[in-house]
Amino acid sequence: MTLPEGYAIRPGTLEDCPKLPPIELAAARQFVGRPELGASTYDLSRLAPVEFIEGRVRDGLLFVLTYKDEPVGFAFGTWEEGDLYLGEVDVHPDHAGKRLGKALIETYTAHGFANGAARITLSTFTEIPWNRPYYERLGFRVLPESEWNEFMRKDMAGQAKAGLDPSKRCFMMLGRKEL
């Protein structure tokens, strides 16, 4: 995908890491007060710690979207039971509407498949328009609970403990054949 002028996606560096939490916070603010979350709360204090993001750099699993060489978005994740899990993808709202999130996701998934992932997985809200419906347009499909692995079961339990309503969440996957 060709990015708009001034934008680029590159592997993240340790120097990028402290610049990413403000982007995550700006993107997370879009979830506050959403009626689609039902009884769920969205805790803005649950941002990824810089140390965790640094680990994604060391694992080669951080991609940064830049505008004029400054970070404005990112995607990162972890390897979980043979799947490449997309743990976070954020684009600062000031840069929304340019298909930049799609470009980040495509970069991340291409990296995963090139490095042996049979599938890319993620968890997301079911009713927020830029969550499950968006990922479905990108080729992801909802995984029924019967197809969850142990990581997914533990992760969903952790999400519930953190105050997110599991009935408003789902796991999704993209396999090589869905491309």
Q: What is the CATH number of the domain that holds 29?
A: 3.40.630.30
On whether residue 2 sits in a domain, the answer given is: no
Per-chain mean pLDDT for the chain: 90
Question: How would residue 129 be classed by pLDDT, with cut points 50, 70 and 90?
Answer: confident
Residue 152 predicted with pLDDT over 80: yes
How far CA 63 is from CA of 29, 93, 133, 169, in Å, comes to 22, 18, 23, 25
pLDDT at 71: 98
Residue 16 lies in a domain: yes
How many other β-carbons are positioned within 10 Å of the β-carbon of residue 5? 7
Mean pLDDT along residues 138-145: 96
Q: 76 or 40: which carries more pLDDT confidence?
A: 76
**How far apart are alpha carbons 109 and 9 in whole angstroms?**
13
By mean pLDDT, which of 97-111, 120-134, 137-151 is the weakest?
Answer: 120-134
Q: What are phi and psi of 85, to 5 degrees?
A: -90, 125
Specify the pLDDT at position 45.
65
Position 32 pLDDT exceeds 90: no
Query: What range defines the domain where residue 107 resides?
Result: 7-178
Count the domains in the chain. 1
The CA distance from 23 to 98, in Å, is 16
Per-residue pLDDT for 54 more than 80?
yes
User: How far is Cα 59 from Cα 71, in angstroms, rounded to an integer?
Assistant: 19
In the predicted model, what is the mean pLDDT of residues 123-145? 92
Instruction: Quickly list H helices, the chain.
Output: 21-28, 50-58, 100-114, 132-137, 150-161
- 80 occurs within a structural domain: yes
